[in-house]
Amino acid sequence: MIDFQNIIEGIHKELKDEMNRGLVASYIPELSNIDAQNFGIHVKHMNGKSYAIGQWNVPFSIQSISKALSLALALPIYKESIWERVDVEPSGNPFNHLTLLELENGIPRNPFINAGAIAIADMLVSHFDNPKQAFLEYVRDLANDQSITFNYDVARSERQTGFGNFAAANLLKSFHNLENDVDEVLDLYFHQCSIEMTCEQLSNAFFMFANHGKCLQQKQHLTQSQAKRINAIMLTCGFYDEAGEFAFEVGLPGKSGVGGGIIALLPNHFTITIWSPGLNEKGNSLLGMKALEQFTTKTKLSIF
């Protein structure tokens, strides 16, 4: 049996005092004020055991990690018709780029670039009477933790600075790929990004992707095929224009956010969440990438 606790302790010890830890996101004050020294790791194994070190129990802004969960909520509702409105190809572009969206007639390359996640948010707004509450309850359910909530200051700041996201939503609308009002859809999008979770809560919420669609409480949220598809999109698109590098270095499906969180998983084995708020130039956690590379190297566990 692999000694996961020993391995993550070793990685934490080696990286925790690293001088080069990237830059925390600076586009809103709530993120730019976060201490870059935070560094937490949490592993949830399929056998039920957990392993953790550092600031694994401090809530942080999940940001784009929420895009995997909104896709998971929308997929069983819309099934295959989802792919008529959002494609599943890596974009090779930063998460907020719009050029391809115009060239490709308003069909976002994948559900994890901002435009794609906004199209998914639109589907949730069409389906639910209170989409923000429905999404929050879904996340609470998955993590089995009712304390998870939005950070309303973050949501407000996202809105005040979200010109690119307004542009993306308007472009989608102009191509008839947005059913609802731009404001209403972005209200959900900004709130989903603002949710705060700990490493442990994220490892628990993503458990279903490693468990063929069944969450920690053994409820079947996704079919096996739906879980497989979302894992495939996490592998090819979870890290924007660094998805190739992440597959190359780490070899796991995963999703990052500009709050500095990365969740990755190996089906049938474990989920792992790392939080280190300093980002590299692609917007992914710098230490998070390094720690995961070491983790899959030391455990010899990856999809490859």
Q: Is 64 a catalytic residue?
A: yes
Shortest CA distance to 272 belongs to which of 14, 37, 46? 46
Q: Is 67 a catalytic residue?
A: yes
Token pair, residue 20, equals 């080069």
Shortest CA distance to 220 belongs to which of 204, 230, 208? 208
Nearer to ligand GLN, 283 or 288 (CB): 283
Looking at 43, 51, 64, 250, which residue is catalytic?
Answer: 64
Q: Is 51 a catalytic residue?
A: no
Q: Is 189 a catalytic residue?
A: yes
d(CA 83, CA 264): 24
Nearer to ligand GLN, 8 or 286 (CB): 286
Nearer to ligand GLN, 285 or 302 (CB): 285
* CA angle, residues 170, 196, 28, in degrees to nearest 5: 55
Whole-number minimum distance, CB 6 to ligand GLN, in Å? Answer: 32
Q: Using CB atoms, what's the residue nearest to ligand GLN?
A: 64
Looking at 61, 154, 240, 285, which residue is catalytic?
Answer: 240
Nearer to ligand GLN, 64 or 271 (CB): 64
Q: Given the rule CB under 6 A, which residues bind ligand GLN?
A: 63-64, 95-96, 114, 158, 165, 193, 257-258, 283
Looking at 189, 194, 276, 290, which residue is catalytic?
Answer: 189
Q: Is 78 a catalytic residue?
A: no
Whole-number minimum distance, CB 33 to ligand GLN, in Å? Answer: 16
Catalytically annotated residues: 64, 67, 189, 240, 258
